[in-house]
Amino acid sequence: MSSSLALSLLAVSRANAGLLFSANCSRTPPTGSLPVNCTGFSGGGEWFLSLNRMYDPGGPARAVDTVGCQYSVVPVLPWSELRSARDYAGLVRRGFLLEWTSVPVDCAACNASGGECRYDAGAMGFGCSCPGGRLQPATCGE
C-alpha cells in the first residue's frame, strides 16, 4: 500500500507514532522489535516490527536502530500499541493523523465571530461557515 500527499493541502502529522518495519539486519534488530512471519514475501530475510512514539517523515527517530537494516516507516495513530506482531495490520488499518499545511484564513477570528473555519472543496479554499449556512471569506461580520 502506498499513500502520497504530494502537492496537497495536507501533510502527515508528526504527532503520529511510527511503525518501523526492518529486514535483513546485519546487526541485532532494533530494540523492542517483534519478529514477523513474512513467508511468501519475495524479499526474503527476517522481518521485525517496532513502534516509535514519534513519526518523522525523514526517517525513524531511532535512526541508530536502523543501521545495517533495510527499513520502512508507516505512520499510525499516536495512541497505538504494539503488543504482538499480529497487531500491525490493525494499526495500519486504523489510519493516521493528517494536518493542514497552510490555512490562509484566520480561524481564530472566524471562530470568535461565531463561525467555524471550513474547507470548501467547490471553491478549493478555506472560509468561515457562518450561522444560516453562509460561507464568508474570513469572519461572520462581513
The model's pLDDT over 54-88, given as tens digits with 9 standing for 90+, comes to 887 766 555 545 567 778 888 999 887 878 777 88
Mean pLDDT computed over every residue of the chain = 79
| Under 8 Å between Cβ of 138 and 110 | yes
Whether residue 7 is predicted with pLDDT greater than 60 in this model: the reply is: no
Cα Rg, the chain, nearest whole Å: 21
| Confidence (pLDDT) at 95 | 92
What is the residue whose three cell numbers read 474547507?
Answer: 119
Contact 69, 24 (CB under 8 A): yes
| Residue 117 φ/ψ, nearest 5 degrees | -70, 125
Among 9-13, 80-84, 132-136, the range scoring the smallest mean pLDDT is: 80-84
- Facing residues of 68 across strands? none
pLDDT at 42: 62
Instruction: Note the pTM of the prediction, 2 decimals.
Output: 0.67
DSSP string spanning 67-126? TTSEEEEEEE-TT----SGGGHHHHHHH---EEES---S-HHHHHHTT-EEEEETTTTEE
What is the per-residue pLDDT for 51?
81
What distances in angstroms separate CA 14 from CA 17, 48, 59, 63, 77, one per listed residue?
A: 8, 23, 12, 16, 10
Q: Which of 30, 12, 23, 32 has its CA nearest to residue 75?
A: 12
For 30-48, what is each residue's pLDDT tens digit? 677 888 877 666 666 788 8
pLDDT band, very low/low/confident/very high, at 107 (cuts 50, 70, 90): confident
Assign 1 a pLDDT band (cuts: 50, 70, 90). very low
The answer on pLDDT for 106 being more than 70 is: yes
Residues 96/75, Cβ–Cβ less than 8 Å: yes
% of the chain beyond a pLDDT of 90: 12
Report the C-alpha gap between 48 and 88 in whole angstroms: 11
